[in-house]
Structure 1
Amino acid sequence: MDLHKAVSLQPNILLGIVNDQLRHDCGDLHSLACVMEVDENTIEDKLARIGYHYESEINQFSPDL
C-alpha cells in the first residue's frame, strides 16, 4: 500500500494501518509521519475524530477513556 495516500482513507482503516506501521516498521509517530509524508498533527487529528490518541510510551494509538 502507498502510505502517502493512507491519510485520505476512512479513520477506522487508517487506524489499523497506522498501528501496524508503528508496531512493525516505525519507532515513533514522527518516523511514521515522515514515511507518510504528512504532518504528525494530520494523523493525530484524523484519529482523534474517532476517539483515539497517540501514546508514545507504547508507540500506538489507543482509545480515549
Structure 2
Amino acid sequence: MELPEDPMMLFSMVNMKLRDCYSSLDELCEDMNVDKDSLIRKLNSVGFEYSQENNKFW
C-alpha cells in the first residue's frame, strides 16, 4: 500500500493506521516498508509532530 503524497491525507492515514493497526510508528514503518525519518520530516514540514506517548501525530 502506498502512502498519499498530500500531507493532510498522509497525516490522516498514518494516524488512522497508528490508532487501528500499530502500537508504534516503528512498527508501522517496518510493516509498510516506509522510511521513518522521511515520513517524520514530511509531516514536520507541515507542522505535525509525532508523540510516542500518544502514538499519533499532532
TM-score by length of 1: 0.82
Count of aligned pairs: 58
Q: Within 1, Cα distance between the matches of 2:32 and 2:43?
A: 15
Match among 10, 13, 25 for residue 14 of structure 1 = 10
**Aligned-partner SS, 2:49:** strand
Give the root-mean-square deviation of aligned CA atoms: 1.0
Q: Which amino acid aligns with 2:39?
A: I
Unaligned runs of 5+ in 1: none
* TM-superposed deviation, 1:59: 0.3
The aligned residue for residue 33 of structure 1 is 29
| Percent of aligned positions that are identical | 31
Give, in angstroms, the shift of residue 38 of structure 1: 1.5
- Match for residue 49 of structure 2? 53
Instruction: Please give the secondary structure, in 2, of the residue aligned with 1:27.
Output: coil
Q: Which has the higher strand share?
A: 1
SS at match of 2:40: helix
Structure 2 counterpart SS, 1:52 = coil
Tell me the TM-score normalised to structure 2 length.
0.91
Moved over 4 A (4+): none
